[in-house]
Chain A
Amino acid sequence: MSNVSVSNVREFNTVPDGNPKVESPLAWSYQQHPAPRASGQAGIVLREKALLGHLVLRGGAIVLDEAVRATLGMSLPAKPNALEHDDSGERSIQWLSPDEWLVIVPGGEEFKLERALRQVLGDAHYSIVNASGGQTVLTLSGDNAREVLMKSTSYDVHPNAFPVGKGVTTVFAKATVVLRRPSETHWELVVRRSFADYCYRWLLDASAEYGIDTQ
């Protein structure tokens, strides 16, 4: 389950072998606020990409770049606020700060990836932190997605300022989120678990005037 790697860091696989019940950070919110049914065309479509693997990489760009190339077959986005996906679109790396990247992979892959990265990185100075239980991803699409974001964040979400392939850490209502644009039609919010219910309720409220589809 766990052991000490070459860099004297304790690895720990948080995912059980069996099938104990697992709950997304929004499990309670779905019960409390049943999905509103949009009358007619919904201007907003909201989905949760639950239970993915989230790793935060910190370290020098050059060594980390080599490591993600060797393990994920992707290069590390060097440009500030850049977001890149692999060909399948299921794995992504996002620049968070000059020495910090967020890697999101399908749930269950994260520990294997962490271990592989540590193998490659050896005794370089870096850190890898598993944040899979601590955050979830919400996707926002629909004709009025940009309006809802404009009601929620002071960051400029106009396509001129926020092209596809960009992601930022910013203010969302009174919470902090990672806001990113994986495609022309979709936005993603990486939300901390404890703030997820608040963000969800805010989104339901801000979307109400456009009609919202959550299922």
Chain B
Amino acid sequence: MTQSNRIAAGGRVDRSQVLEFTFNGQRYQGFKGDTLASALLANGVNIVNRSFKYSRARGIVAAGSEEPNAVVQLGARDDTQVPNVRATQQGLYSGLVARSTNGWPNVQRDVMSWVGRLGGGFMPPGFYYKTFMAPASMWMTYEKYIRMGAGLGRAPTESDPDIYDHMHHHCDVMVIGAGPAGLAAALSAARAGARVILCDEQEEMGGSLLDSRETLDGVSAVRWVEQALSELAGMETVTLLPRTTANGYHDHNFVTLHERRTEHLADTAREAGFPGESRARLHRVRAAQVVLASGTHERPLVYANNDLPGNMLAGAISTYIRRYAVVPGQSLVLSTSNDHAYRAALDWKEAGRKVVAIVDARANPDGDLVRQARDSGIRVITGSAVIEARGNQRVTGARISAIDLERFVVIGKVEELECDTIASSGGYSPVIHLSSHTGTRPVWNEELLGFVPGKVKGMHAAGGVAGHYALSETLTDGARAGRQAALESGFNNAPDIVLPATRARRDAPACALYQVPHEKSALRAPKQFVDLQNDVTAAGIEVATREGFESIEHVKRYTALGFGTDQGKLGNINGMAIAARCLDRSIPEVGTTVFRPNYTPVTFGAIVGRHCGELFDPERYTALHQWHIENGAEFEDVGQWKRPWYFPRTVNGKKETMHEAVNRECLAVREGVGILDASTLGKIDIQGPDAREFLGRVYTNKWAQLAPGRVRYGLMCKDDGMLMDDGTTSCLGDNHFLMTTTTGGAAGVLEWLELWHQTEWPELQVYFNSVTDHWATMTVTGPDARKLLSELTDLDLDRENFKFMDWRDATVAEVPARIFRISFTGELAFEINVQANYAMHVWKKLFEHGEKYNLTPYGTETMHVLRAEKGLIIVGQDTDGSVTPEDLGMQWAIGYDKPFPWIGKRALSRPDTRRKDRKQFVGLKPKDPSVVLEEGAQIVFDGKQSIPMDMKGHVTSSYYSASLKHGFALAVVMGGHERMGQTVYIPMTDGTMHEAEIVSPVFIDPKGERQHV
């Protein structure tokens, strides 16, 4: 197919670069500089989509981000699919493949369109709910089929070959929009010395100047744009971001920009010649000041069949002709309420095509452009409007009539004009979306017939968005805003900026026209579309107001006006005007809806950035990580740490299961010697004369008597008396302690200590510092631990000289070490701390010497079993934020008589915490030794009770014990401490019932002989 609508000369396309592309399976050609939309129009493609609800044929309406119909599915392969791309914003590249998002089997002949014709062609708001309401149980079935016909695009099914990333910016002045106002603002702010970011969503910067008929300083507007951009590009303080949409405007001038980096060049970044670079980038800008120069959107008129392909915005026609050298039809009728739209007819005529008539709703328009049109011989019909478009797949004619604006009726005789294109303009709506994101309410301006942005701190609306439509005013306002923004961010020596001279143009005032009356009522006339993307009609809004939806917010939700990716760009003001007319109120009385981020769809990839795959979350490694990997460890995530879970061995060519590995590791510790990498435990260095006093206040137990060289286990409660963390703390010197915390609790405990110190007890002289990463910790434990360690240390390990709960400085394998005789296994244990950089050396030396003792590395799973056999809790597993130290049976670790009331003490005297029937910590011995109870399983006292049963507790930890040769569990049971020896029942979801006996939680060595050897 040839480019039948392409003009031979002019425009900003490069005719020497022919680009082949495919749309809906058909191959076409366009030029470098085209958008997908301009290339489709050049090729005379009328239907680009089917509408959302009625499946009506739709064509291209606009030339920018406000395009409601030409939303396409982009991508040549399944892994490069991008839904929701506006053809008007997609730069054309060679090999581009796009499809319509709606329409089955294709947009030309669409099966769903019969639904649209059902019931006389009118589907009222809530059609599907009203039609498919009975029986209610069938809705799920109906919905499945209705959904198949709906939707805007599909998600890719394969992973994306491209990457996306983020970039953070800080600037003095963020200018949004590079049209005349934005360029003037950027120039004046940058010349004042401010750090400026200028972004623009289009393929090229320049905005309306790129298709302007006007001259600046006597040269074409485009030349001035080039000069301005080259000046800006040469300034180090300026960042230019073309093809970048400001999608969200958040609190405190935080603006998110979405930059399309390679998607205008090829299907993937690699094919675009930028392998390894991001396809799109999300810029996160923190701006001192924002200049909002987002311009205006032209409002279409609402007349019957205004959605037929061939109905377009007047301004879009000028853009396609002047910027892309494309005339999207042969014969034009223009329906307008204002002077500015006359450009479309003049441009059309100059392109050599036929202008049938300009239909102006005003009685006596007399501006410069009107005179120009008349002088060029164009028929101008006044006091009239296009009331209906005729045609089937494309406009074939326009029905026009004189109208009475006041009474909202058609007067006189209807005339039918033959044409294939109808341009309409009902005026201009400032693009206030971004300012609305901040929560500010827009303000109605009766003179402009539009909303302008409300006040936002640090924001300066400039140019069209502020209601300055004439070019000279736009430039002046932009320069003013840029200068003011620079001033407010501290640059007060802005030089005067000389603005280019413009030729003054006299425009006559516009008239207020939104919906055009028809001979028939809105309900009986052919459909008059308000929101093309969501298929909302004038009749739909009328019905909504009749059914009692009076607030525009309710009308919006009932009809879907302004929903979805469109966000009401073309339809919102018209919709509000119609609601206002039906309710006999003014537009500001009806209010405005809130526009939400994002302005246009943002691909998920850009939101995620590089925080995906292997960089999704930090993985924290200990100094021994490499050894664990080389020795086949399976890993468990503990917070962000990767901890060895267990070390499966291969026995007779078969890799051990976790169960087999854990049984072997457990027996090795109980019978020989094992070693654990415990480096992840939180370690906090505490120094200061009041360190001891501070410990007494944050722990439940006593610290006054702990001598240097000794270690004590401590419990830490929240102020509600519930256990929050536990661990051992060693007295290093009278004013010096080393606290250990759980792995997951490390950061939280340090914050907790700082919080209490800084807010409640600033008078205490004490400092806290995390030393978690500084030390590597190796736990050597088991009956042979002493024998092994004695081969490598100078320390006297004799039981009398180095007792249980002692610590000593020593060297291990020539490395200075601090050894703690503490045990989390119930066996003889030494925790060796060395500076992390030497850890690998010491660990390997231990294995060299440990071979003869069958030194066995073990992971967190074995650690869990061993500590559970000994009845030692894990905070967060056996406790859940509702367990007190007394519930755990740890009265021995509570110092009720300490002089200062420690955190949680008062809460422990509340009636609730004194209840006898609180869930208390116990052991469970299943009656069937082969049973391992499920963790989390509920416990009942009466196994024969009918459902719902009274739940009396739950299992917190449960394992098979290789030492005991039976399953065992830890649990919390109501009044459990008084129920030793009683039988409880654990009903399972599959209907089986387990029986267990309540026993002491200490299953192995209740007297503690093994750890004291």
Contact = CB atoms under 8 A, between A and B. Distances in A.
Interface of A: 1-2, 4-5, 7-10, 12-18, 20-25, 27-28, 31, 51, 56, 58-59, 99, 125-135, 147, 150-151, 153-156, 158, 160-161, 173-175, 192-195, 197-198, 201-202, 205-206, 208-209
Given A129-B769, A198-B618, A198-B620, 15 more contacts: A1-B816, A4-B733, A8-B734, A9-B733, A9-B736, A12-B809, A13-B816, A14-B835, A131-B773, A132-B835, A134-B773, A174-B617, A195-B618, A201-B614, A209-B277
10 cross-chain pairs, A with B, having the tightest CB-CB distances, nearest first? A134-B773, A134-B774, A14-B835, A127-B687, A133-B835, A127-B767, A194-B620, A156-B170, A10-B732, A133-B836
B599 to A, nearest CB: 22
B415 to A, nearest CB: 62
Nearest to B817: A14
Contacts, number: 179
A134 B809 contact: no
Interface of B: 165-170, 195, 274, 276-278, 284, 286, 610-611, 614-615, 617-623, 625-626, 641, 685, 687-689, 708, 732-736, 765, 767, 769-776, 809, 811, 813-816, 818, 834-842
A23 B816 contact: no
Contacts of B811: 1, 16
A128 B732 CA distance: 14
A27 B624 CA distance: 11
A174 to B, nearest CB: 5
Nearest to A149: B168
A94 to B, nearest CB: 15
Contact of A160 (B195, B277, B815): B195
A209 B276 contact: yes
Contact of B610 (A12, A23, A127, A205): A205
Nearest to B818: A12
B165 to A, nearest CB: 6
Output the residue of A15, A21, A27 with the most chain B CB within 10 A. Answer: A21
A48 to B, nearest CB: 12
Given A21-B841, A27-B626, A10 B736 contact: yes
A7 B92 CA distance: 74
A131 B771 contact: yes
13 contacts: A1-B816, A4-B708, A16-B816, A22-B841, A126-B767, A129-B771, A134-B771, A154-B168, A175-B618, A193-B836, A194-B641, A197-B619, A198-B618
Q: Which of A15, A129, A195 has the most CB of B within 10 A?
A: A129
B610 A132 contact: no
A173 B696 CA distance: 38
B837 A23 contact: yes
B769 A127 contact: yes
Contact of B618 (A5, A18, A126, A174): A174
Contacts of B618: 173-175, 195, 198
B824 to A, nearest CB: 21
A5 B610 CA distance: 49
Contacts of A208: 276
B615 A202 contact: yes
Contacts of A31: 626
A153 B775 CA distance: 28
A151 B838 contact: no
A163 B910 CA distance: 56
Contacts of A156: 170, 286
Contact of B836 (A15, A129, A134): A134
Contacts of B842: 20
Contact of B170 (A16, A132, A158): A158
B159 to A, nearest CB: 17
Contacts of A21: 838, 840-841
A8 B733 CA distance: 5
Contact of A15 (B641, B733, B767, B816): B816
A15 B834 CA distance: 9
A210 B687 CA distance: 46
Given A8-B733, A8-B734, A202-B610, A23 B840 contact: yes
B706 to A, nearest CB: 13
Contacts of B195: 158, 160
A174 B617 CA distance: 7
Nearest to A171: B168
A149 B708 CA distance: 46
Contacts of A193: 623, 773-774, 836
B736 A174 contact: no
Nearest to B609: A151
B841 A20 contact: yes
B193 to A, nearest CB: 10
Nearest to B772: A134
Contacts of B284: 154
Contact of A132 (B685, B734, B774): B774
A151 B774 CA distance: 29
B773 A133 contact: yes
B603 to A, nearest CB: 18
A99 B754 CA distance: 13
A157 B807 CA distance: 46
Nearest to A11: B733
A205 B609 CA distance: 12
A40 to B, nearest CB: 14
A174 B641 CA distance: 14
A58 to B, nearest CB: 4
A20 B168 contact: no
Q: Which of B610, B687, B765 has the most CB of A within 10 A?
A: B687
A194 B621 contact: yes
A201 B619 CA distance: 11
Nearest to A13: B816
Nearest to A154: B168
B7 to A, nearest CB: 40
B818 A194 contact: no
Nearest to A99: B767
A208 B775 CA distance: 33
A14 B816 contact: yes
B837 A195 contact: no
Contacts of B775: 133-134
Between A25, A158, A193, the greatest number of chain B beta carbons within 10 A of the residue's beta carbon is seen for A193
Contacts of B815: 16, 20
A150 B167 contact: yes
Contacts of A175: 618
Best-surrounded residue of B167, B625, B689, B835 (most CB of chain A within 10 A): B835
B254 to A, nearest CB: 10
B837 A130 contact: no
Contact of A56 (B278, B625, B708, B769): B769
A10 B619 CA distance: 33
A23 B773 CA distance: 14
A73 B169 CA distance: 38
B623 to A, nearest CB: 7
A58 B840 contact: no
A177 B464 CA distance: 45
Given A20-B815, A158-B170, A161-B170, A194 B615 contact: no
A151 B165 contact: yes
A202 B623 CA distance: 19
B169 to A, nearest CB: 7
A43 to B, nearest CB: 12
Contacts of A8: 689, 733-736
A135 B284 CA distance: 29
A205 B517 CA distance: 61
Contact of A20 (B620, B688, B838): B838
B283 to A, nearest CB: 9
Nearest to A7: B735
A133 B734 contact: no
Contacts of B776: 133
Contacts of B836: 25, 133-134, 193
Contacts of A56: 769
Nearest to B767: A127
A125 B688 contact: yes
Contacts of B688: 125, 127
A25 B169 CA distance: 31
